[in-house]
Structure 1
Amino acid sequence: MPPIILFDGDCLFCHAGVRWVAARDRKAVFRFASQQSTVGRALLEKGNVPAGDTIVLIEDARYYIKSDAVLRIGRRLVWPWNGLAAAGFLVPRPLRDFVYDQIAVRRHRLIRRQNRCPLPPPELRARFLDELPR
């Protein structure tokens, strides 16, 4: 099963993050689902992870949240992001998660408000999950 990123579908910052990751995921290994979708809710329930203000990475049947998820995603991206992510693991998790939480609390203010979220282009839309992976 490919790694899956569960994101807050109601957050423009999160949508921008998905587009940013997809643009730097040259091998197109990641699949995406919003936490509010049927697939997202089922995967969160399966991993016993509450929906909320965190990104979730499902990789090798393990669930990662907050800074662990961000850095694990970064390690699969193109240079320099993979190197920065590897270095990020040198920072203690409590400090990394504190920074993550500070960004998460402010994420709705970090991106200009719009009336609606833009649809992803077709090549990215194909990487969104419509059903549970097997």
Structure 2
Amino acid sequence: MPKWPDDDVILFDGVCIFCSRWVRFIAKRDTAKRFRFTPIQSDYGARLARTFGIDPNDPDTNAVVHRGEAFLQSDAALTVLSHLPGWSWTRALLAVPKPLRNAVYGLIARNRYRIFGKYDACFVPDADLRARVIE
């Protein structure tokens, strides 16, 4: 997998309501403000996605770049959660076989618009969160 120069960047689908709520969930709990965010619909996000083999026009996963390496699907979610205060216990979920974790992840990802809905355009974060968004 290729390396990425920026660290602790979370790639997400900016029109997906579930994905946008995920970003707000992380931002609220990330008291150290370690993570930054980029919607896949931005130039930066699309470049990052293509680098790691994600189709920017049909994203099927979020991703996080941590220590220069991209983590996808359930690995991305667990990597992020495990670095939040009070959530280190989620590392134990990495013991669940990856095919099983990714099957559950994929089921939610494929149905996220139908279950949670979709914005007409990328969600607009508040000023505090906007400072952590890379476009």
Q: Is the TM-score greater than 0.5?
A: yes
Alignment of 1:1-134 (within 5 A): 1-51=6-56, 52-79=59-86, 81-83=87-89, 85-111=90-116, 118-130=123-135
TM-score (norm 1): 0.85
CA shift, 1:42, in A, is: 1.4
- Paired residues in the alignment total 128
Specify whether residues 92 and 125 from structure 1 end up closer, same or farther in structure 2 by C-alpha distance, changes over 3 A only. Answer: same
SS at match of 2:28: helix
The TM-score normalised by the length of structure 2 is: 0.85
Q: Is the Cα–Cα contact under 8 Å of residues 8 and 53 in structure 1 kept in the other structure?
A: no
- How many angstroms does 1:43 deviate by? 1.5
Q: Is the 8 A contact 2:16 2:117 kept in 1?
A: no
Question: Which structure 1 segments of 5+ residues have no match?
Answer: none
State the identity %: 36
For 1:66 and 1:58, how far apart are their aligned partners in 2?
A: 12
Q: How far apart are the structure 2 equivalents of 1:33 and 1:12?
A: 15
Backbone CA RMSD of aligned residues: 1.9
Higher relative contact order (CA 8 A, sep 6+): 2
Listed as ranges, the gaps of 5+ residues in structure 2 are 1-5
